[in-house]
Amino acid sequence: MTNNFSKTILDNLTTALVGLDSDLNIVYTNLAFEMLFDLSAKRALGISVQQLPLVEDRLMQLVKDVQSSGEPHTEWALELNLISGKRAIVDCSVTELEQEGKTQLIIELHQVDQHLKLANDEQRQEKVNSAKMLVRNLAHEIKNPLGGLRGAAQLLQREQTDPNLNEYTEIIVEEADRLSNLVNQLLGPNKPPEKRWINVHQVLERLVKLVTAEGLQKIDLVRDYDPSLPEVFVDHDQLFQACLNIVNNAIQAMGEKGTLTFRTRVCRNQVVASNTHALMVRLEISDTGSGIDPEIIDKIFLPMVTSRAQGTGLGLSISQALVDQQGGKIECKSRPGDTVFSILLPISSSQEGGDHAFQ
Ligand SMILES: Nc1ncnc2c1ncn2[C@@H]1O[C@H](COP(=O)(O)OP(=O)(O)O)[C@@H](O)[C@H]1O
Ligand SMILES: [Mg+2]
């Protein structure tokens, strides 16, 4: 094996590698290290590992333990604070090597936060799915007798001759209709999507028109579009409805004034319902409003979860069902002043969501 070939292999590992001499100075880094730490090999070589501003105490302790005992050691799920302000969770192994009479140490850092995030996402999704199933079953149970109730009230209306009693039967019919409307919303989209290739900017521009037509002068609208965005294969109206519910919430959360931002990007290697997509379109709707109440943030996609007195708690549950139908997914991040809903859509026409897109 040539040196070049070994270097190519080491640079293509997803594990970040750092080599240290006996004084704990960095003597080797691979490409994964440079990417994880956002630090070029040029700047890293020769400096002491302790000088890396991002190395946390547990990692240094691990290095010292291995140095004094000579035994290899691994720590799971170490949290690193990176220069970029981001955090990374890594499994970290430190091994001591003897080479030409000199002691060297190798640190391996394997980033695991993607896996942890996926596991959490899956758990959360399972909970949401079972709660949704419960609500759907309940809605079905209510729907049938409701039809009977309405029919019987109409019969009664025709049969009885006293006009004073009409008022009561009318109330029964009206309330049955109101309940039936609610139950239909709880049951979710009842039409299969009519998918075609569209540019998501068409959907966003329709939303822009609607927001501006409503005369919300104090809401600034920012468009941050990727003009080279590929088309997606979705139902235009269903995607529009999904976004509209999110935009309505954003406007309500901002109250008098704020900034509403529509951002589009391409993103790579995303997992949706166990399918990995090499490429997806990410459509973000963000607002500078109050932020989502932390008490309900894990539940906002469930039907009937609302913090508003007049709210039905159905908007986001409907949005999620509609986006699911397109083979995509919705994510949400929020802190006061910065709430972002992201809709990920597959760039593929396959019904399952396009696992073949993964090359
Ligand atoms: N952009 C947002 N900013 C703050 N809170 C939000 C935002 N979007 C949703 N929420 C929270 O999620 C809840 C559920 O939203 P939704 O399903 O649309 O129901 P509703 O609008 O009827 O309350 C809202 O009541 C609100 O508490
Ligand atoms: Mg809403």
Q: What contacts 216, CB < 8 A, 6 or more positions away?
A: 251
* Same structural domain, 93 and 176: no
- pLDDT of res. 359: 26
Q: Of 111, 143, 169, at which residue does a domain stop? A: 111
* Same structural domain, 155 and 215: no
- pLDDT of res. 122: 74
**CATH assignment of the domain containing 50:** 3.30.450.20
Q: Of 131, 166, 187, at which residue does a domain stop? A: 187
- pLDDT of res. 271: 81
Q: Which two tokens stand for residue 232?
A: 């997606």
* Same structural domain, 283 and 334: yes
| Of residues 207, 200, 230, 344, the one with CA closest to residue 282 | 344
- CB of 288 shorter than 6 A to ligand 1: no
Domain that holds residue 180: 116-187
- pLDDT of res. 137: 85
* Same structural domain, 344 and 224: yes
| Ligand 1 atom nearest to 289, measured from its CA | 3
* Same structural domain, 236 and 339: yes
| Ligand 1 atom nearest to 311, measured from its CA | 22
- CB of 44 shorter than 6 A to ligand 1: no
Per-residue pLDDT of the chain (359 residues; tens, 9 = 90+): 567 888 888 888 889 999 999 999 999 999 888 888 888 889 899 999 888 766 667 888 889 899 889 899 998 888 887 766 677 888 999 999 988 888 899 999 988 876 666 667 777 777 777 887 888 888 888 888 898 999 999 998 888 888 888 888 999 999 999 899 888 888 877 788 999 999 999 999 999 998 887 776 688 999 999 999 999 999 999 999 999 999 999 999 998 889 999 999 998 878 887 778 888 999 999 999 999 999 999 889 988 899 998 888 989 999 999 999 999 999 999 999 999 999 999 997 664 443 333 22
Compute the distance between CA of residue 59 and CA of residue 115 in angstroms, rounded to an integer. 21
DSSP-H helix ranges across the chain: 3-12, 31-37, 41-44, 57-69, 113-159, 163-187, 200-213, 236-254, 315-325
Atom 27 of ligand 1, residue of closest alpha carbon: 307
Residue 7, SS3?
helix
**CATH assignment of the domain containing 178:** 1.10.287
* Same structural domain, 133 and 218: no
* Same structural domain, 207 and 352: yes
Compute the distance between CA of residue 138 and CA of residue 184 in angstroms, rounded to an integer. 12
- What pTM was computed for the model? 0.65
- CB of 300 shorter than 6 A to ligand 1: yes
Q: Supply φ then ψ for residue 206, to 5 degrees.
A: -65, -40
Given ligand 1 and candidates 219, 247, 254, 300, which is best to mutate, with the most ligand atoms within 8 Å of its CB? 300
Compute the distance between CA of residue 109 and CA of residue 80 in angstroms, rounded to an integer. 10
* Same structural domain, 215 and 262: yes
* Same structural domain, 153 and 202: no
Q: Supply φ then ψ for residue 98, to 5 degrees.
A: -110, 120
* Same structural domain, 42 and 58: yes
Compute the distance between CA of residue 344 and CA of residue 242 in angstroms, rounded to an integer. 12
- Structurally, the chain folds into a number of domains equal to 3
Other Cβ atoms closer than 10 A to 319: 23
